Amino acid sequence: MKPRFFIVDVFAERPYAGNPLAVVLGGDRLTDETMQQIAAETNYSETTFVRSAPEPDGGYRVRIFTPAREIAFAGHPILGTAWVIRHHLAPEPAGDIQLKLAVGPVPVTFESTAADGEVAWFLAPPVTAGPTCARERIAAALGLAPDDIETRAPVQQFAAGTSAMIVPLRSLDALRRSRLDLATYADLAGEGFPPLTYLFCTETREPGNHLSARFFFEAHGVREDPATGNGAAFLGAYLLQHKFFAAAELSLRIEQGHEVRRPSVVRLRARMAGSSREIHVGGKVIATVSGELL
């Protein structure tokens, strides 16, 4: 049988919004080189490859490729892949799906309500805090003034398999003006700071949302993500660590993707569970294309 594939929009409230993802079933029949070539062909930020049969414990082995390389963890591929497995591979629609990623097992659950429809949620793996960065230096790399950077919490690196810089901004205007300049960022990259930047502010376009965000990353040049699940997980850890909001338990809607004409809504739940952080990231998944590899 030829491997089947699906294109789904993740964190989308309607078709052709959110973050597109290609999911290939039967990835165990493909070589590493072929998987990388397919990921470059789709040219999405990520393409996933799923083994045909579940593991003995019922989990599904999944690999994630960008157009340039394989990565250990990314948010929208988790939700989109679990949705495809639930609807097109699992013997019956399960209430939860466990993905076996390079970063470790990641459970995905599904909730359905009359008001919101079906929403997929993943429990983020442990997120660790890294070094901070002077706001003047990150502002220069983003084409901003230092005063555009919010000062009640630092610019800081967070990681879980991959890593990104969390950058708090003062306004939606600053968010709109942001542009990542890799040449200016080169000195920071040389010091170990990743050229992946997650920017957010508390000003929103829609009154039902709580935060606005953008995410820039390097993949054969600078690209912008329409919706970023791992960035939201990093953000949840960041907000808890710095007590950015007064509430001890957060339930937030994050709008993203407007600048690239793919409006998205990322849902975030974050709380302290004893001495550790418990972070869930959720969103809707809408299928747009299905087919098979030739």
Q: Active-site residue numbers?
A: 46
**How much of the chain is helix, strand and coil, in % rounded to 5?**
25, 40, 35
Q: What count of other Cβ atoms lies within 10 Å of the Cβ of residue 273?
A: 8
Q: H-helix or E-strand containing 163? A: strand 162-168
125 close to 103: Cβ distance less than 8 angstroms: yes
* Mode of pairing for the β-strands spanning 276-283 and 249-256: unpaired
Q: H-helix or E-strand containing 98? A: strand 96-101
- What is the C-alpha separation between 24 and 85, in angstroms, rounded? 10
- Residue entry with tokens 């087919």: 291
Note the Cα 91 to chain centre separation in Å: 27
